[in-house]
Every structure is written in structure tokens, then in C-alpha cells.
């Protein structure tokens, strides 16, 4: 038997961005605030960033909820 998985995807957009920007060079840090969310500790919070261009690059960050609760920054 195979492993059954259930995937639920909800888009969460920031409600606040400290330094709005269109472009940046080299390293960049910012602070984003999202609405309060909760989910079980065994779930994964995925953050995906993509360029607007159709052939643009994509970045993906996966965080376990338990790691997110214990993080100072990420």
C-alpha cells in the first residue's frame, strides 16, 4: 500500500511590509507581518517567492510549524 497524503493550500499575503520595494541589489532584509494563523505541529508552512516574468526564478522555503514557533527570525 502507498502512503495517502492530503494537501491543502491557502495563499497568505502580508498585511504589512516594513520597506516596500520594487527592486533590490545584493543582500536585502525586510519584515513582513501576516494575519494570525494556526495549524497542527506536524504541518509544514511553505513560503514561495517568484519573479513576475513568466520564465522567472522561484524560491521555496519549507518550515515545520514547531520550528516556526521556536524561531527568533527566519
Confidence of residue 2 (pLDDT cuts 50, 70, 90): low
Percent of the chain with pLDDT strictly greater than 90 = 0
- Mean pLDDT across the chain: 76
Residue 17 has pLDDT above 80, yes or no: yes
The whole-number pLDDT of residue 54 equals: 73
Residue 68 CB burial class (10 angstroms; 0-12, 13-18, ≥19): middle
Dihedral sign (CA 70, 21, 37, 44): negative
- State mean pLDDT over 42-63: 80
- State mean pLDDT over 8-14: 77
Q: Where are the beta strands (DSSP E) in the chain?
A: 16-17, 32-33, 44-50, 58-64
The whole-number pLDDT of residue 59 equals: 84
Amino acid at each position: 500500500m502507498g502512503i495517502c497524503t492530503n494537501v491543502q493550500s491557502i495563499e497568505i499575503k502580508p498585511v504589512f511590509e516594513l520597506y516596500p520595494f520594487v527592486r533590490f541589489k545584493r543582500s536585502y532584509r525586510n519584515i513582513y507581518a501576516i494575519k494570525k494563523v494556526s495549524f497542527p505541529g506536524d504541518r509544514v508552512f511553505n513560503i514561495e517567492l517568484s519573479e513576475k516574468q513568466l520564465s522567472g526564478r522561484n524560491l521555496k522555503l519549507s518550515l515545520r510549524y514547531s520550528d516556526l514557533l521556536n524561531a527568533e527570525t527566519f
